[in-house]
Every structure is written in C-alpha cells, then in structure tokens.
Structure 1
Amino acid sequence: MHNNHFFLRILARELRQILTYARLKQCFSQEKDELVIGFERQNGQDFWIKCSFGSQFSSMQFPTDFRRAGRNSVDLFSDLLLHEVQDVRVFENERAIGLYFLGEQVLVFKLFGNRSNVILFQAGEHQGQFQKRLGKDFELSLSQLDRTIDQSYEAFHQADGDWMALYPTLGKECTSYFQHLGYVNLTQSKQWDLLQKTLEALEEPLISIIETPKGIALTLFPVDQEALYQTKDVFDALNQFFSLHYSVGEFRREKALLMETLGKLHLKAIHYLESLEKQQVKRDSSLAYEEIGNILMAFLHLIPVGAKLVELDNFYHGGKVTIKLNAQLSGPENAENYYRKAKNFSKEIAQWEVTVARKKAEIQELGEQLKGIETAQVRRELKPYLQYLKVQESTKQSSDELPFKQFLTSGWTIWVGKNAKNNDLLTLKYAKKFDIWLHARDVSGSHVIIRNPQQQTVPKHVIEKAAELAAHFSKRATESLCPVIVTAKKYVRKTRDLLPGQVIVDREEEVVMVKPTYWE
C-alpha cells in the first residue's frame, strides 16, 4: 500500500506542513531510475525526497541528508529552481501527489507501480518528465489526474453495497479485511457504517510493514501476523519499507531465485550423467568394433554388393548379428571402416571417463552450494553464489535485448526500427517471411514488424495498433490520418542500388488508414 491513494493522502498532508513556502534548491539524477529533490525550508533546514522508480520496484524515501556525487549527475527540472512551494495535494481517487509552485507550475509524483514517474506541468500542460521511457505520460494533462467518484450513501445504495464501486482505491487489503469481518453478511446500513469507520481509521492509521509470499509489503490495515516494523510516522514508514525491501525482501527473492537456478543446473547435470551412463550400458551390450570387422572379413563371400545391412553368424557370442554397412563401400572396405572405429574407440572411452568424472564433481559441488544457500540467513551469505544470477541475467539479456523498439499488444510482439540502417537490420535479418511488414505510405519512416512465428491470421485490431506506430514513427506523425502499407515480409526485398532503409514492396496486401499514435 505504499503507493496507495489513502497512504499518499497522509503523505501529502505531512508534506504540506513541511514544504509550504519551501524553495526547491536541487533536483538531479546520478543513478538510473533515481531522482533526488532538495528543498530549503523557511527555517533554513533542508528537506530531501529521493525517488527510486525502477521497473521492478518503485518507492519514495526521505533521507535526512544527501551528498551529491561530484560527477555523473544530471540536473533536471531546472525551471523550478528557487521556486516556492505554495501547496501540496493528493489527486482525487488517484495515486499521485502534486507540489504546486508559484507561476502555475506543478510537479506531480505519479506513483503507478512500475510506471511511476515525476512530471512537470506548466499551466496544466505537460512540460517535462523524469522517466522518458513512459511515452504515454507525454500526453497527460493536469486535469486528467483527478478522478471524481460519487461516494455518497445514495451511490452506495444504488451499488447494492459494493464498496469497490465507490472506493476502488482501497485495494485488495480492504477486500481481505472486510472478508475477515464478515462484510457480506451485514445489512446494507451496517456495511455503510463499517465502511465509514474504516475510512476514518485510515486518517490516522498504525502503519505496518510485513512479510508476504510476494515480498515486503506496507499496509494501513490491522495485521494478524507479527509485523517487521510499525509506526505512525509516514516518512519513517517509507524509509524503513525501502530498507526492509532490500535487506529482507530482496534477500528472500535472491535466495529463492538462486535455489531455482542452481536446482535447475543440478538437475540438468544429473540427467546428463544418466545419459552418459546409458551410453556405457549400450556400449557394453553391443559388439566391439574390432569384432565386427573380424566377422565381416570372415564372411566376405556372403556380403552382397551395395548392401546396407547384412546378417552373419556371430562366432564370438553365438547366434546371428546384424551389421550396418556403407552401400558405397566393398566388404573389405566396410571391415576397414570398423577397424578404424576400433582405433578411435579407446580415445572416446578416455574422453567419456573424463566427462563422467567432471560431471560427478559438478553434481557434488552444486549439491553443496544448494545446501549453503538453503542455510543462508542474511544477504551477505548469498554473495559467493550471486555469480550464477549474473551469468543468468547476462545470458537472458543477450537473447532478449533487441536493437530496435519492442511493443506488445494482445499477446502479439511488434518491432519498430529506429533509423534507416536499423530498418534494414530489422527487415532483412530479424523478420521472417510470414511476419507482417508495415510502413507509412509514400513517406520515410520506421519499418514495423508484427512477429508471426506460428503463421497465424493476425487479428485486425493488432494490425491497426501496429499501423498506428508505423504512422507515428514517420513523416506523417503530425497528420490526422495516415495511410499505412500492410503486407507479408516475404513480399519485401532490397537491391544493392538502394540506400539504407529503402526497400521494394512487390505486393501491397492492403493499405489501412489510422491516426498516428504512440502507445505502450
């Protein structure tokens, strides 16, 4: 609940008391996904806000002091420097806080989980933002942030006691809390009373930080487990939450990930050893190559010309033996082939023994490391094993990172070229012949590919979404409508005389008209 509207309502109230008439004196970033904002209050004291907005975890902190690095830091929102804060408010039914400065400037902390951002508005219009990767934020206006919801008893009655219709921002914690109190069994008037008492309690709650199966969580509701930390100070709560997330939550996450990663490696090694041992069993039960050669030489007169198989008497072990032959070779040449294999066989056995010994040692080592991880109690005890996660991440990144933009819609992957040379790379190297190729008609722009490895019929709405991107990343981006070519990649080719990014489309399967739109 650290980014929940009701928690932010308390935070905004406390920030208003501290920051009203304070001046912004520093705003910079010195690490990826981290923004630091420093204020000077009227009493001369400093107040710091540190925003950590990663793709996996986002939160705010309030350090008592902060030393800016001497290098590798970038100033941001310079237009706000030395401006005075006039008000702080949480937006209605939304996870966002606004700092209102003189001159109609508003700095908004949009706390939407992995889409959290800090956005500057001037006279209600977007002026700049911290996280440039969140393209939709460029289209926001200040008036969009308030969500008006009728929260009267009449609306509650019309919703038949469905509190989520009036207070969707209470979230899953409230659902569990009401279930525990038997909300559904109460009369509607008592349900309303419980809802109002809950809202009143959330004005001055005891903030608890607890451990859940999904990690460290912050909640405003009463908990039925031992809390890691409890406080009524909202700044203290966020600082402790951030610390515990990494000291406890990240430890648990890394430990589980290491157990999973090494467990897979351990199992893979065991299966590999089993396959090696099966090779030995198969080899022991088979006739030796030298024996096969001798049998062939003894019965040369029984081997038909051009035969691929021959069945001969096995004078070593009795019975019959079926021997594979190379139809292109004579009987003596086939025998010589088996004699040659016999000479190499001793080398193969030696290599096999080395591989078996190495795999057994690997299995033993991985087993010991799994025991070490399982008994680890603090994060530093995991340090010797973190190399496995780094290897896994680098392997994943090398396979996942693509040199062009990637979008997802309805389970379909869309790739967009970044420039002329990148377009060639996308279309000529990465795209397959059954992928869908799109491009704004008669103007320069990005090549766009809808991946279609299963050779399915691509839904019309997916084609339209991809066409919107093709229009947006073209010279027609500012036009109200843009024609976009849609065809299979197999109908797109390039000749040597063409410049980078230029191609020949042999067949336009269709042309769609769309509004140039950037979406995520």
Structure 2
Amino acid sequence: MPFDALFMSGVVGELSKTLTGARLNKIQQPARDELLLHMHGPNGSGRLLISIATGAARLHMTELPCENAPTPPMFCMVLRKHLSGGRLLALEQIPGERVVTLTFSSLDEMGEMRQRKLVCELMGRLSNVILVDEDGRILDCMRKVDFEMSQKRQVLPGLFYHLPPAPDKVNFLEAATADLAALLQESGGKPLDRLLLDGFSGLSPLVCRELAFLSTGQVDKPADALTEHEQNALIKQFTALQGAVQAQNFQPCLLSGADGALKDYSFLPVTHYGSLYSLTEFRSFSKLLDTFYHAQITTSALEQKRKYWRKTLQQQIDRLNRKLTLQESELEQTKDRESLRRLGDIVNACIGQIPKGATQVELPDFYGEEGATITIKLDPALSPQQNAARFYKEYTKLKSAEAHLSHLIAQGKEELSYLYTVADALDRSDDLKTIDEIAQELTDHKTGRNTTPEKGRKKGTSRPSAPLSFTLHGGFTVWVGRNNRQNDQLTFYTADKKDYWFHVKDRPGSHVILSCRSGEPEPEVLQQAADLAALYSSAAQGDKIPVDYTRVRFVKKTPGGKPGMVIYNKYKTLLGSPDRAKKEHKL
C-alpha cells in the first residue's frame, strides 16, 4: 500500500493540527504490533492508532472499536510509566522518510518534567516503535533487533538511538530539475515509473506510475524514448507534485473496484487506472485509513476463519468418505453368504458320509444340476455336525452384518449430505457473523446438540443474522437462508403455509421462500425465485439448473434429521439461471 513518505507528510500535517498540545490520558496495546494512545486536547480528542503490522504499518486517528489485551505487554507498561499524563509537544516527520517522532513532556518518578520521544518507523517489515529519553538512549521498543538479526543497526534498550540508514537515492522533496534530467540521461531503457522509483526516495510505485501516466499517457514507457514534449511535461508534473506536498495540498482518495472491494489509496487523485477503479475522496487521511484498513482487516479475518472451518469440515468429509468406502466393501462381502448356508445344508444332509478328521470332502450338490458334486473344505478339529454349525453361524453373522452395515451406510450418506450443505453455506458466507453461526452449528452437531433456531438461543446472547431479502416483479418478497439454521427458521417458523418453497434439485443450497401475502405470483415471479435458488446453491457456476418448488405446507422436517434437511412432495421443477439472477439484482 502507498503509505510512502509523501502520504505520511499529509497524515502528519493533519495530526499536528489536532494533537499538538493534547494530553495523553490512556495507553493501550490491543495487539502485539499495535498501540492506541487516547489523546485529549484543545484542538480535538480521540484515539491515535500506531500500527507496525506487516503490510499495514500506519499512523492515524481511529474511531473503530478495539478490544484491550487482558494483560498489557511489557512495552505498554513501560510507555505508561514514562508517558501517561504527558503532553504532546510536537509531532514531526523526518524529511523524506517514513519516520515520525512524537515528543512528549511528562513527569518522571521524581516529579521532574522530562521529555520523551516516541519514534515511529513505519517502513514495511522493518517497522518499529521506539521510546527514547532526553539523552537519546532507547528506553524500550516494540521490536528488539539484536546483533544476530542485523549487523548494521541494533535497536535495544540502553543503546543510543540512531535513525535508519538513508537510502542511496535523492530525496524527492529536495530534488531539482537537474537531478531529474540527469536521471533520464542515465535511464538505460528502464520504464519511466521504475526509473522514478529507483531514483528518488519518498515515492511509492503508485505515485511513480501516476507521474509517468500524466507525463506520457503511459505508465511504463521507456525513459529513453520520451519526446522533448514528454520530458517537459514530466518536469512540470514533478515540480507541481513537490509544490503540492510542500504546501500540504492533498486530496485523500480511495480506489475501489466494480465489485466494491477496496483496492488502494493515495494522497492525490489517481487517473492511470481509467474506468477500472472508481475514486472516492475523503475529507481526512484518518477517515480514509480507518475505512480502508477496517475493510482489509475484516476481509482478512473472514478469509482466515472461513479457511479454518473449511479445513475442519473437509477433514470430516474425507474421514466419512473413507469410512463409507470401507463399509461398502464389507457390505459387498456379505452378498456371498447364501453359499455358506448351502454348504451347511449339504454337510448336515451327508453327515454319515464324512469321515472324522477330514480336511475336505466331496459330497453330492443337491443345489446344483442332477448328479453334480461339490468339494467342501472342513475343519479337521471339528465334528461333521460342528462343521455344519460353523457354516450356519458364519451365514447368520454375515446376514446380521448386512443389515447393520446397510443401516450405517444410510446414516453415513445422510451425514455426508448434511456436511456438504454446511460446506456450501460456508463457501457462500460473506460476513463474520454468518461464519460464526455455521461454526456453532458444526460444534453443536459434533456434540449432538442440534437445537431448533428459536429454542437454541439463550437469553442474553446476540440475535442470529438475518436472511437475505429480495424484491421481485410485482413487489413480491423473497427470503434466502444463509445457513442451515436460517433455512429451518425460514421454512418452519417464518414462512406461511401458502408461501412457495424453492430448492435446487439434488444439490446443497439455500431454502428460498417466496411470500404470497400480496397475492398469487405470476409465472415470471416464480422464475425469478427459481433463479435465486439456483444462484444460492452449489450449482451457482452452471446454467439451466433444475429447481424444485412447492407450497411450504408440503415441506416436512426429516424425522430426526439435521438442520436444513427436509422432505417434500407435490412439487414442480423450473430451470433456474444464476446469471439471470445476478443481472436482475446486480449481484
């Protein structure tokens, strides 16, 4: 993300106006790599977030809720000791660097006023927050860097603080047009955006691409192919950007895709993406960063949680598939049991012809053709009567095994079908609350606690998430369940008996309820509901998906069945189109 030195200068300028002179009332460290400073002053109050998280290092005011750690880390305790109750004297950026220094004045343990500096180095994976005393010694730091981690620069309590090594580049804000001209002459055929990035410090790849585009109409035109007009345009854009930054003339912008997903942010309008991304301007950098990282963190948490439960669910599915394969193999072996009963009958009928201690005997096969014989292997330790009983016992055992295995396989297939419905709902989940409900459903299922949606919610717990709702042609309302608990709730508690119930045929999917409270729907409305049922199913990637529909009164809960599992009759079938539903509802 382009939290470069130029972007940081805008953030620092904004924060300086608000926080200079403010008192530090409270210090929190909600995560290993985050700090929250509660500030109160004449120009404004709020919480200052300092994050050194990988890929999300930043500094801004935040309004988002944040849970405090049950036990404050040692670094947080040190900050509270030295900075609590202190006043922020200055908030300054090292020119051209992503380093910000917050200078506080606070009382020490002897009651004397001291100055302490909180240095925020927001430089990607090397980011750090360091507390420095008046003599320049490090009191503590969020990330300790010893000699084994870096031979060039150590960051440890007791050492003198030194700024990070400056890059071997020209500071963009101090660069002259002669520096730019010299860089172009030594370009070596590099793309212009890469040349600017390698030649000047303080610029992000996004800003370099924008400068190249504004000057040449391309983001990656070779620098040695620039015309004189394009070179003059580049110099003009270069100096204009320097002037805008020095004058603190910024326009915080957020870039988002056609699907609404937030892609990037900048301190100036970005034009080189064209119509690919839309641009949203913000009044403040803090609001921009709050919006962007809240969406990013939420999406990341959503994916992590979905990935965890999908892995857990897949393990259950794989285990059950292996178990079913083994049981079906054992069931196949029971189909040959009739031959054991016949052997027992033959031995019983010919006991007098079997010598004692024989290992095998050839006897008439009265189950075969006339005059046929059969060779039967015997246990020499058993009498003929006992050998016959052994055949009957094995026959009875396999007969019982067939009934037992058939029952287990039916149960296993029902269980597998249920797990596939959970997996489908999990893959389509788009918020943390829905995933939490699916996770709770899996946990309850594992422990055998399959409660109904209404009866399962304890007093004081949060309400379940609401199903999706759509308005169809003629004002008809459709509800779509987002997990098995919601499916049960919709079908057996929310829907009226005369409403229509839709479900993709023989595949996992949502229960879709078409409300008929405003009258009987036209065929067009039924088709729209069928399209939604096809879209919210495991067959959403296909076309012309068979969807069954019937009145809710013909849908019954499977006896002893799991959440979302039903049986239905008196139904009709429509072919649903997921693509048509997406276009109709702009999904």
Normalising by the smaller structure, the TM-score range is 0.5 to 0.7
- Where relative contact order (Cα < 8 A, 6+ residues apart) is larger, the structure is 1
Letter in structure 1 aligned against 2:296? H
Cα distance, 1:372–1:245 mapped onto 2, change above 3 Å: same
Q: List aligned pairs for 1:1-80, cutoff 5 A.
A: 1=1, 3-29=3-29, 34-41=34-41, 43=42, 45-51=44-50, 60=59, 62-63=61-62, 75-77=77-79, 78-80=81-83
Letter in structure 2 aligned against 1:37? L
Match in the other structure for 1:105: 116
Residues 47, 62 of structure 2: 8 Å contact kept:
yes
Deviation per residue, 1:171-192 (Å, 9 max, x gap): 5546876698242345257479
Q: List aligned pairs for 1:267-278, cutoff 5 A.
A: 269-270=320-321, 272-278=323-329
What is the percentage of aligned positions where both structures have the same residue? 15
Cα distance, 1:7–1:172 mapped onto 2, change above 3 Å: same
Letter in structure 1 aligned against 2:237? K
Cα distance, 1:313–1:64 mapped onto 2, change above 3 Å: same
Cα distance, 1:353–1:36 mapped onto 2, change above 3 Å: same
Distance 2:299 2:24 in 1: 34
Match in the other structure for 1:280: 331
1:372 deviation in Å?
A: 3.5
Indicate whether 1:126 and 2:138 are aligned.
yes
Match in the other structure for 1:461: none
Q: List aligned pairs for 1:342-353, cutoff 5 A.
A: 342-353=395-406
Indicate whether 1:147 and 2:158 are aligned.
no
Bigger CA drift: 174-183 or 101-110?
174-183
Letter in structure 2 aligned against 1:197? Q
Letter in structure 1 aligned against 2:169? D
Q: Which has the larger radius of gyration?
A: 2
SS of 1:139 mapped into structure 2 = coil
Deviation per residue, 1:237-296 (Å, 9 max, x gap): 112123323555644665566566646655664565355334433442577655677789
2:439 to 380, 386, 392: 386
SS of 1:62 mapped into structure 2 = strand
Cα distance, 1:185–1:129 mapped onto 2, change above 3 Å: closer
Distance 1:92 1:317 in 2: 102
Distance 2:420 2:129 in 1: 47
Q: List aligned pairs for 1:352-371, cutoff 5 A.
A: 352-371=405-424
Residues 300, 331 of structure 1: 8 Å contact kept:
no
Match in the other structure for 1:210: 256
TM-score normalised by the chain length of structure 2? 0.50
Deviation per residue, 1:33-59 (Å, 9 max, x gap): 543212343x26434213466679665
Distance 1:45 1:7 in 2: 22
SS of 2:166 mapped into structure 1 = coil
Q: How many residues align?
A: 385
Deviation per residue, 1:219-238 (Å, 9 max, x gap): 22445445485425211111
1:384 deviation in Å?
A: 1.7
Letter in structure 2 aligned against 1:356? I
1:19 deviation in Å?
A: 3.3
Residues 48, 66 of structure 1: 8 Å contact kept:
no
Cα distance, 1:282–1:346 mapped onto 2, change above 3 Å: closer
Distance 2:375 2:251 in 1: 84
Match in the other structure for 1:235: 286
Q: Which consecutive residues of structure 2, in runs of 5 or more, have no partner in the other structure?
A: 106-113, 171-178, 445-587
SS of 1:29 mapped into structure 2 = strand
Distance 1:113 1:287 in 2: 74
TM-score normalised by the chain length of structure 1? 0.55
Deviation per residue, 1:104-123 (Å, 9 max, x gap): 63312344557754321334
Cα distance, 1:336–1:165 mapped onto 2, change above 3 Å: farther
Letter in structure 1 aligned against 2:411? R
Residues 262, 366 of structure 1: 8 Å contact kept:
yes
Cα distance, 1:253–1:109 mapped onto 2, change above 3 Å: same
1:365 deviation in Å?
A: 1.8
Residues 207, 231 of structure 1: 8 Å contact kept:
yes
Letter in structure 2 aligned against 1:17? K
Indicate whether 1:197 and 2:234 are aligned.
no
Match in the other structure for 1:482: none
Distance 2:183 2:43 in 1: 48
Distance 2:209 2:382 in 1: 81
Match in the other structure for 1:403: none
Letter in structure 1 aligned against 2:164? L
Letter in structure 1 aligned against 2:415? E
Residues 118, 129 of structure 1: 8 Å contact kept:
yes
Match in the other structure for 1:219: 265
Match in the other structure for 1:184: 221
The RMSD of aligned alpha carbons is: 5.3
Match in the other structure for 1:165: 198
SS of 2:162 mapped into structure 1 = helix
Letter in structure 1 aligned against 2:103? Y
Cα distance, 1:68–1:176 mapped onto 2, change above 3 Å: closer
Distance 1:128 1:384 in 2: 42
Deviation per residue, 1:302-332 (Å, 9 max, x gap): 9997xxxx99899567999999999x97797
1:359 deviation in Å?
A: 1.7
Bigger CA drift: 218-227 or 10-19?
218-227
Distance 1:236 1:13 in 2: 14
Letter in structure 2 aligned against 1:119? I
Cα distance, 1:2–1:155 mapped onto 2, change above 3 Å: closer
Letter in structure 1 aligned against 2:47? W
Cα distance, 1:71–1:280 mapped onto 2, change above 3 Å: closer
Cα distance, 1:358–1:100 mapped onto 2, change above 3 Å: same
Distance 1:390 1:191 in 2: 65
Distance 1:195 1:344 in 2: 92
Q: Which consecutive residues of structure 1, in runs of 5 or more, have no partner in the other structure?
A: 392-520
Bigger CA drift: 172-181 or 368-377?
172-181
Letter in structure 2 aligned against 1:80? L
SS of 1:28 mapped into structure 2 = strand
